[in-house]
Structure 1
């Protein structure tokens, strides 16, 4: 029974996946992904992390707290690093510089979406929270913040990128996409893999990075991620978040 199930599951996994992933602070990663088995397993683990957190659910103006959303984004950051450590070089092989790998996507999301958002808004929100009078509840105090619309807008852009990534990971893992489909900017529903069903995805004024270029960028920025989040961890503990 288990052998037949395993064969059926593998048959649902495509050998190649076309990737087009928009990142708020980098541009776009595009190319072809031919995932190895370790990459498929890593893709499933990250997919589960994404779809079970508020990071891929739209935060409406009258719903939720930005603090909770940022905390969820930080959890995804940590989970992504743990998955990279767990699978090691198998998800970022040297001989595949001209194709997409799990490592390219993971580092792209860390440096092109999560890290810039957190390093900008976590300390800014913490500073505002420290000014809350005892007579004002945390929810109302956050909603009185004059920078709230800006941080919500950037959270929305990051959420859209993570939702696209979740669709790509679902394809690679041979899994169904388990969240409701969000409409494209012009109202067209999105397919798995993040593409509109009836037209190509166009990102105005984007920078399309080849896997080789992005790998070079990751080599330069990854040490900064570790240092920056050491400081962020310290701020989080100090703020009691």
Structure 2
């Protein structure tokens, strides 16, 4: 993903700063790049924030570690994005998908293109295969255990990880347009330290054998 400001920021809705113009490129594996010039208006800024929240709070942009979560959960999270984008487009209308020059993009173009060119192929490929495998779960085995035993699970997880990177790029662009903080990057969590005990209150250490 590549984007940079080609002009200064302007004041958007709610007093938040948004970029006046962006040069956006999002890479879709095996297909190439989509992008162009984007000058978001207030409606696109609000729509960008809504989709940004959906992306950063779902499994969509969270790494699916081998020892946690499930591929089925990740696929279901991807499916929900279609309903989310559809709802945003209906509520905001043509304002978030205005006609423009050939090299210009909009919220509508980016969101719909990523869904149809990146998300849909993965779902179309893996949903029926995973469903067929899930139907063969033997008695006494949990759904998660059965999924891990699937011979194609590694290939599915690899495709999900590639798709996650695409959605993360989209989320980063949307967050920039919305004027939001980076909610994707993980913050370092410092473990809480036990309160120190004063030297005077410490019990004397028991004497042990002398160390030679």
Under TM normalisation by the shorter chain, which class is it?
0.7 to 0.9
Indicate which of 16, 27, 46 corresponds to 1:41.
46
Task: Pick 1 or 2: higher relative contact order, CA cutoff 8 A, min separation 6.
Answer: 1
Indicate which of 12, 15, 18 corresponds to 1:13.
18
Would you say the 8 A contact 1:77–1:114 is kept in 2? no
SS of 2:50's equivalent in the other structure is helix
Question: Whose helix proportion is higher, 1 or 2?
Answer: 1
SS of 2:176's equivalent in the other structure is helix
Pairwise CA distance, 1:82: 1.4
The residue number in structure 2 matching 1:190 is: none
The residue number in structure 2 matching 1:119 is: 124
Q: 1:25 to 1:92 in 2, by over 3 A?
A: farther
The residue number in structure 2 matching 1:59 is: 64
Pairwise CA distance, 1:98: 2.7
Instruction: Report the TM-score when normalising by structure 2.
Output: 0.78
Would you say the 8 A contact 2:51–2:85 is kept in 1? yes
Would you say the 8 A contact 1:25–1:113 is kept in 2? no
The residue number in structure 1 matching 2:162 is: 157
SS of 1:121's equivalent in the other structure is helix
Structure 1 or 2, whichever has the larger Rg, is 2
Structure 2: which 5+ residue stretches go unaligned? 1-10, 187-212
For this pair of structures, how many residues does the alignment match? 177
Structure 1: which 5+ residue stretches go unaligned? 182-241
Pairwise CA distance, 1:64: 0.8
Q: Hey, what's the Cα distance between the residues in 1 that align with 2:56 and 2:15?
A: 20
Indicate which of 76, 81, 104 corresponds to 1:99.
104
Q: Hey, what's the Cα distance between the residues in 2 that align with 1:135 and 1:32?
A: 55
Pairwise CA distance, 1:83: 1.1
Q: 1:112 to 1:75 in 2, by over 3 A?
A: same
Question: Whose strand proportion is higher, 1 or 2?
Answer: 2
Pairwise CA distance, 1:38: 1.1
Q: Hey, what's the Cα distance between the residues in 2 that align with 1:9 and 1:112?
A: 34
Pairwise CA distance, 1:92: 1.2
Instruction: Report the TM-score when normalising by structure 1.
Output: 0.69
Pairwise CA distance, 1:9: 3.0
